[in-house]
Amino acid sequence: MAYPADFSDAHSRHWEDAELLYDDERWANADQLYGFSAECGLKAVMLSQGMPVDATGTPTEKAHKQHVHKLWETCKAFLRGRLAPQYLPLLPAGVPFDDWTHLDRYAHRGHFEEANVNPHRQAARAIRGMMQTLRQDGRL
């Protein structure tokens, strides 16, 4: 059974679990969950601003059906003109997940170190902050 998408909740639960793993120095899985947390957060923000979805809450446009390492620029482009002046500066510059891939879930844990995970953690934290600001402003 596939449950309907809830990007906001998925963002939070992936973040919470990533933080537990991070605190236990389990870098590989923490890194994966920071990526999924960020991806879900970006999708929650885009959804609140009119991202088209089907009846299950799944994005209908191919450009929005991406993992965070590809979705980052798509999201920023989508939000330009909608939230750009006030909210886009809350996100880190560049593409902080350009070295992240969902395929790393198959990689050996020895490839992951705290220094590699920290930029992903900080970017996911920035998305959390952006979502909180949008909620406070009644936009999410």
Q: Can you name the residues that pair with 59 across neighbouring β-strands?
A: 53
User: Is residue 1 in a domain?
Assistant: no
Specify if 2 maps to a domain: no
Q: Is residue 53 part of a domain?
A: yes
Q: Is residue 67 part of a domain?
A: yes
The pLDDT tens digits for 91-122 are 998 999 999 999 999 999 999 999 999 999 99
Tell me the C-alpha distance between 47 and 112, whole Å. 32
The domain containing residue 20 runs over which residues?
7-136
Number of domains in the chain: 1
Residue 132 lies in a domain: yes
User: What CA–CA distance (Å, rounded) separates 65 from 71?
Assistant: 8
Count Cβ atoms within 10 A of the Cβ of residue 51 and give its class: 0-12 exposed, 13-18 middle, 19 or more buried: buried
pLDDT in tens, 48-81: 988 888 888 888 888 788 899 989 999 988 888 7
Residue 30 lies in a domain: yes
